Amino acid sequence: MSLERIARNRCFGGWLERYRHRSETLDCDMVFAVYLPPQAESAPCPSLYWLSGLTCSDENFMQKAGAQRLASELGLVLIAPDTSPRGTDLPGEHDSYDFGSGAGFYLNATEKPWSDHYRMYDYVTQELPALVEANFPVSDRRSISGHSMGGHGALICALKNPGRYASVSAFAPITHPVECPWGKKAFSNYLGDDRDSWRQHDACELIRGELEERLPLLVDQGEADDFLAEQLKPQLLIDACADAGHPLELRMQPGYDHSYFFIATFIEAHLRFHADALRKA
């Protein structure tokens, strides 16, 4: 697994770097970004994985969220993967913003032709951490966060992998993809008609199921988010956590929308939340 560095910028006393590598899991070349705080020069640091939303690449978060300032202060490595396989050209793959390229939904597709490449769940939970931990000054303490589709991704990655993450948070996550238009479109195409497999990739369903571990969970949701009622449905996550006795701090934020201006406003609270959990892990 060779890594080609394609960009490097000094940022808040550390380094923001972008790498291209051949993903065996996805059977294509992928790019990811890593921010190495100054503390990583002297000792391995814990890592926070950030999963981005529809249409994003590894770049949006690193350019717009302002997270490097906090990562530099707290000694966190930030890792931002892309949102889907790239460089492939499957039928219809590039036709819509909410399916195919830029919209991998952090699951392993079982339906052809997607199952040959669209295995973002294994990529972000297994292949990428193994690659990062073998090549960078990163400890095996990990947390995970994300936005919208990536908030869904962060939730299912944490819920399905007990012991792998110290904490999970999300901005405006898709909480119940089996019952929203984005989720139904993606799941039916990637996973086929088997609703049981859908439920294994749904945060609310997983929280209501049998969990080996209950992680600290922080969610911010803008009240002026255009996708709130139809796609995101935060009340369903509140209900599922209440019914299952799962910890949740969900903060409704008046006036905030779905943009990175919302994320930038509240990213500090999320990074401090993860740094606290990682210190205890």
Q: How far apart are CA 157 and CA 243, in angstroms?
A: 21
Ranges within 15-34 binding a copy of itself (CB under 8 A): 16
Given the rule CB under 8 A, which of 37-45, 80-88, 160-168, 256-264 is the region that contacts a copy of itself? 256-264
Report residue 246 as tokens: 């799962």
SS3 call for 140: strand
Verify binding: residue 255, a copy of itself, rule CB under 8 A: yes
Helix (H) or strand (E) holding 157: helix 149-159
Active site annotation includes 258 = yes
Binding-site member from 123, 227, 260, 273 for a copy of itself (CB under 8 A): 260
Cα 235–chain centre separation: 21
Binding-site member from 3, 12, 28, 38 for a copy of itself (CB under 8 A): 12
Name the residue nearer to a copy of itself (CB basis): 222 or 234.
222
* Per-residue b or e along 86-123, where b marks 16 or more CB atoms closer than 10 Å to that residue's CB: bebeeeebeeeebbbbbbbbbbbbeeeebeebbbbbbb
Active site annotation includes 167 = no
Verify binding: residue 64, a copy of itself, rule CB under 8 A: yes
Binding-site member from 4, 5, 9, 113 for a copy of itself (CB under 8 A): 9
Verify binding: residue 265, a copy of itself, rule CB under 8 A: yes
Residue window 194-233: x/- pattern of binding to a copy of itself, with contact defined by CB under 8 A: ----------------------------x-x---------
The Cα angle at residue 137 between residues 136 and 140, in degrees rounded to 5? 95
For 148-238, list the strands marked E by DSSP: 168-171, 217-222
Verify binding: residue 245, a copy of itself, rule CB under 8 A: no
The strand pairing partners of 33, in sequence order, are 18, 80
**Least distance to a copy of itself, CB of residue 62, Å:** 8
Active site annotation includes 148 = yes
Q: How far apart are CA 168 and CA 183, in angstroms?
A: 20
**Least distance to a copy of itself, CB of residue 170, Å:** 19
**Least distance to a copy of itself, CB of residue 70, Å:** 11
Q: How far apart are CA 67 and CA 13, in angstroms?
A: 13
Name the residue nearer to a copy of itself (CB basis): 97 or 261.
261
Burial of 177 from C-beta contacts in 10 A (0-12 / 13-18 / 19+): buried
User: Catalytic amino acids?
Assistant: 148, 225, 258
Which residues contact a copy of itself by CB under 8 A? 9-13, 16, 63-64, 66, 68-69, 222, 224, 253, 255-257, 259-262, 264-265
